[in-house]
Amino acid sequence: MSSSSSFDGGPYQYYGNHTSIQVIDKETETHHTFNVSFYNNTIRTTVTHTASIANQWIGDVYASYARYIEKHNLIVSTSNGCGYVKLVVTKLPCCNYLFGRDKEQLPESLFDFLNDERIRFVGVGIDQDAYKLWVDYGLTVARSEDFAGLAAYKLGGQRLHRAGLKPLMWHVPGKDLSKHRVITLRRWDVDFLTDEQVEYACLDAYASFKLGMDLIRRPATENMLHYFQRFQWNFSLFESFNH
């Protein structure tokens, strides 16, 4: 761990030499900002429990990516923890929105954003996260794609269907994403997170986004194409016998 204090703007290292976090601003009551580093990438991160800040971030997404949204080509990494949701899109800060105790105060823009069928929300285990968002907060994720299944299809390994984010990050882009259980066990239903929690949440969301972009650009392996073609042929044959 670096000897520099995170409160004076120095980097704190929690997960090794390839990650660090630097406080940019903790003076405002509505949100805190950080720079989180992962290998050679620096991710500006906003943590907020204020609806207006979440509204602003979502508004920036629509303004910056209108062309991608109209073509149904925008990809957003999202995941849901205990009391917060993480959102990442390229070239904009990572947004960690902390749900307050009053569920009636959720930003309306968040409902509309997650329910926008033109936007593809991606992540590892996203279907479970989407279900929890619906049960806990009434938020609907209209269009989602789980990377574990996509990794199995693109890379030709059925075992990848059950893989988590850490092994997928090591298997696909070759990056080490250390995840310390002691941080996951801390309280997350608070107004603001500790620096370690911010770094953990940001890296989780950013790694998911980078993994997704890598997988989406890759062609499917020939073995898996043959497997799915054979599956489709067998299914068609089965249907013909039942008509």
Question: What's the pLDDT at 11?
Answer: 53
By residue range, what is the domain housing residue 204? 6-145+173-217
Question: How many C-beta atoms lie closer than 10 Å to residue 205's C-beta?
Answer: 27
Question: Could you tell me if residue 45 is inside a domain?
Answer: yes
- Give the whole-angstrom CA distance, residue 140 versus residue 55: 17
- Please indicate, yes or no, if residue 32 is contained in any of the structural domains: yes
37 vs 35: CA distance, rounded Å: 7
User: Residue 168 domain-assigned?
Assistant: no
The reply to whether 239 falls in a domain is no
Whether residue 232 is contained in a domain is answered as no
103: number of CA atoms within 13 Å, CB side?
Answer: 8
What gap in Å lies between CA 133 and CA 17, rounded to an integer? 34
Rounded CA-CA distance 126/145 in Å is: 7
For residue 226, being part of any structural domain is answered with no
Find the CATH number of the domain harbouring 135: 3.30.420.10
CA Rg value for the chain: 19
Q: Is 16 within the bounds of a domain?
A: yes
pLDDT in tens, the chain (243 residues): 232 334 445 555 454 568 889 999 999 989 999 999 998 889 999 999 899 999 999 999 999 999 999 999 899 988 877 678 889 988 788 998 988 655 557 899 999 999 999 999 988 888 889 999 999 899 999 999 888 888 888 877 767 777 888 888 888 888 888 777 777 767 777 777 889 889 988 888 888 888 888 888 888 765 554 444 444 444 343 344 444
Question: Across the beta sheet with 41-48, what order do the strands follow?
Answer: 11-12, 19-25, 31-38, 41-48, 94-98, 84-88, 74-81, 119-123, 144-146
* DSSP letter, residue 40: T
- The answer to pTM > 0.85 is no
Based on the structure, what is the number of domains in the chain?
Answer: 1
Eight-class DSSP state of 158: G
